[in-house]
Amino acid sequence: MTYRMFEEKHHASIYQRYRFVPPEEIRDIILHYLERKNVQPHALAVDLGCGTGQNSRLMAPHFQEVVGIDISECQLEEARAVTGFNNITYR
């Protein structure tokens, strides 16, 4: 039996409120990896299983475009409600 924990609106709302901001070390590891690979510019980041978008927003200043993807429409609704990140789209 499977249970999809992130589907409910209430769960998504609580997740948005209490999920801690991801540490900047994660962002730095990703950016240093791309630097070593000599990938410039940073065109597109895809955040698969983005939830309410914390990691998408962490990446937004460093990429031309960020696409957050999640199976839960309620998680995406919470992500979309955070304004000020014009280069992020959620699907």
Question: At its nearest, how many Å lie between ligand SAM and the CB of residue 40?
Answer: 26
> Which one of the spans 31-39, 58-66, 68-76, 77-85 is the region binding ligand SAM (CB under 6 A)?
68-76
By CB under 6 A, residue 59 contacts ligand SAM: no
SS3 content of the chain, % helix, strand, coil (to 5): 45, 15, 40
Binding residues for ligand SAM restricted to 12-41, rule: CB under 6 A: 19
Residue placing its CB nearer to ligand SAM in the complex, 4 or 36:
4
Closest CA to 6 of 78, 67, 63: 78
Judge contact between 79 and 58, C-beta under 8 A: no
| Choice from 26, 35, 44, 49 touching ligand SAM (CB under 6 A) | 49
Q: Which CB, 2 or 40, lies closer to ligand SAM?
A: 2
Minimal CA–CA distance to 55: which of 21, 31, 7?
21
The only residue of 14, 29, 44, 71 in contact with ligand SAM, by rule CB under 6 A = 71
Residue 22: other Cβ atoms inside 10 A: 13
